[in-house]
Structure 1
Amino acid sequence: MATNGAVQPAVVEGVLERITYANEESGYTVARVDTGRGSGDLLTVVGSLLGAQPGESLRMEGRWGSHPQYGKQFTVENYRTVLPATIQGIRRYLGSGLIKGIGPKIADRIVEHFGTGTLDVIEDEPKRLIEVPGLGPKRTKLIGAAWEEQKAIKEVMVFLQGVGVSTSIAVRIYKKYADASISVVKNQPYRLAADVWGIGFLTADRIAQAVGIPHDSPEP
C-alpha cells in the first residue's frame, strides 16, 4: 500500500515552450513544457534550468508537487538536453530563437538544405551554412558563435552534474567561473569552498574526490 511519505523521484521529457520567470543570480526558473500528450495543456516546471532555451527538448529528473496557486508542477533537480532527431523537431528547435541569427524563416531554409544532418553541420562544419540561400558570411559567423556559447554552458552543466554537483550548485559555480568552471573544478576544487556561496569544505572535498584529487593533496 502506498504511503504519503517522501515524494518519489520521477523523469519527465518534453519541449520547453516558454520561460515565464528566471532569476539570473540563482538560475531558478519557472517554465512551461509541452510533454506531447496531445491535450494541449502545458506543464509548469520549476528549478535550476540554466542554459535551457525555448524549443529545446529536455529530459528532466525531479519530483512532482502542487502549488496552492498554480496547481500541479514538476520540480527539476537535474536536466539534460535531448537534441531533436526529426525534420519537424529540428525546424522547431532552430526556429525557437535559441540561436542568435536564426528565426523561423532562416530555420526553414537551413533544414530544407541540410535535412536531418542540420545539427551535425552546425556543430562540425558551421561554415557550410553559407550554402543556404540568404545566409551571408556575417550571419553564418554569428550563428556559429551563438551555437558555441550555448554548447559551452551545457558542457559545464553536464560535467558538474557528472561529478555529483546538484544543478543549483552548478549554476552558482558557472556564475562565478563561466567558461573556466571545468578547469577550476578539475584542478582547484577546494577554491569552491572559498569562492562559491553554499559550498563548504565537505562539499568541496567530495567534489575533489570525484575528480580524482586525494584528501591530502596540497593545492597550488
Structure 2
Amino acid sequence: MVEQSKTDAAVTEPLYVKGNVVTTIFHNATNLFSVLRLEVKDSNVEWEDREIVVTGYLPQLSPEERYHLEGTVSEHPKYGRQFQVTTFKKELPATKAGVASYLSSDMFKGVGKKTAEKIVDVLGNDAISRILQDATVLDQVPKLTAKLKKTLAQTLQENEGLELVMIKLNEMGFGPQLAMRIFQTYQQKNARSD
C-alpha cells in the first residue's frame, strides 16, 4: 500500500492518474459510487499495467473524454490494488481535431462533425474555454441556430459546473461522497424550480 504522509504532501504533488475510461464496472445512480477501469495516459503513480481500477464518488464518466484524477492508492482485500479518487476534472482537448471531436460527440445533440469543425475554425483551439467565458462568441460562427448555440453553451456549462463544484467543495474540506450529495441536492432543487 502506498501512503503519503502529511509532511510529504506539503512537499510533493498529489498522486494523480490521467486517462480515458475503458469500462464502467459499477455505478450507483443514487450515491454515485463508481468503480471503473481507466486506460492510463499519464501518472505519477507507479503502476505496472496500462489500465488501473478506479473507485470513488463520480458522475457517469464518458469513455470519449480524458480525465485527471487525484487520490490515493489502496489495496482492497478481495479486488487488489485500486486508485481511490478524491478529486477529478475533465481535461479539455487542446488540438483542432480534439476540440472538433469533443464538440461533435453524443453530448452535444445536433452538432455534427462539419459544424464542430466550423466552430473550431472560427473560434480556434480554445473554442471551449472561450464559449465557457462568454457564450456570445458563438454569434461569430455563421449559420448556427439560436437553439444550437444555447445547447452548446448550456451543455458545456453543466459539465464544467459539476467539476468546479466538486473541486471547490473538496478544497473546503468536504469529502467526495458528501460533495456529490450536495451537488445532487442542489441539482434536484434547481430542476424543481425550472
TM-score, normalised to structure 2's length? 0.68
The aligned counterpart of 1:139 is 148
The aligned counterpart of 1:60 is 69
The aligned counterpart of 1:194 is none
How far apart in 2 are the matches of 1:168 and 1:57? 22
Matched ranges for 1:44-83 at <5 A: 44-50=53-59, 52-65=61-74, 73-83=82-92
Q: CA deviation at 1:104?
A: 4.4
Q: Matched residue of 2:126: which SS?
A: helix
The aligned counterpart of 2:178 is 169
Measured against aligned partners, the alpha-carbon deviations of 1:158-198 in whole angstroms (never above 9, x if no partner) come to: 211110111111111222233889xxxxxxxxxxxxxxxxx
Q: Kindly indicate which of the two structures has a greater share of residues assigned to strand.
A: 2
Which residue of the other structure, out of 34, 44, 59, is the alignment partner of 2:39?
A: 34
How far apart in 2 are the matches of 1:17 and 1:95? 20
Structure number with greater Rg is: 1
Measured against aligned partners, the alpha-carbon deviations of 1:30-85 in whole angstroms (never above 9, x if no partner) come to: 33433237xx9544322112375444332212233567897754222222333333
How far apart in 1 are the matches of 2:144 and 2:23? 27
Q: Is the 8 A contact 1:54 1:96 kept in 2?
A: no
How far apart in 1 are the matches of 2:189 and 2:136? 27
Are 2:93 and 1:113 aligned? no
* Structure 2, unpaired ranges of 5+: 5-14, 43-48
The aligned counterpart of 1:14 is 19
Q: Matched residue of 2:68: which SS?
A: strand
Which residue of the other structure, out of 122, 143, 158, is the alignment partner of 2:131?
A: 122
How far apart in 1 are the matches of 2:140 and 2:67? 30
Bigger RCO (CA 8 Å, 6+ sep): 2
Matched ranges for 1:169-208 at <5 A: 169-178=178-187
How far apart in 2 are the matches of 1:55 and 1:111? 18
Q: Is the 8 A contact 1:85 1:116 kept in 2?
A: yes
Q: Matched residue of 1:14: which SS?
A: strand
Which residue of the other structure, out of 157, 178, 183, is the alignment partner of 1:148?
A: 157
How far apart in 2 are the matches of 1:115 and 1:93? 14
Q: Is the 8 A contact 1:35 1:43 kept in 2?
A: yes
The aligned counterpart of 1:25 is 30
Aligned-CA RMSD value: 3.4
Q: Is the 8 A contact 1:16 1:31 kept in 2?
A: yes
The aligned counterpart of 2:12 is none
Change (3 A) 1:101 1:152: farther
How far apart in 2 are the matches of 1:166 and 1:71? 23
Measured against aligned partners, the alpha-carbon deviations of 1:133-179 in whole angstroms (never above 9, x if no partner) come to: 55322111111122222222222212111101111111112222338
**Aligned AA for 1:8?**
E
Q: Is the 8 A contact 1:152 1:179 kept in 2?
A: no
How far apart in 1 are the matches of 2:147 and 2:114? 17
**Aligned AA for 1:124?**
Q
Q: Tell me the number of residue pairs that the alignment of Structure 1 and Structure 2 aligns.
A: 174
Q: Is the 8 A contact 1:51 1:154 kept in 2?
A: no
The aligned counterpart of 1:87 is 96
Q: CA deviation at 1:90?
A: 2.4
Measured against aligned partners, the alpha-carbon deviations of 1:62-120 in whole angstroms (never above 9, x if no partner) come to: 23356789775422222233333333432343344344444545433322332213113
**Aligned AA for 1:7?**
V
**Deviates most, 165-174 or 14-23:** 14-23
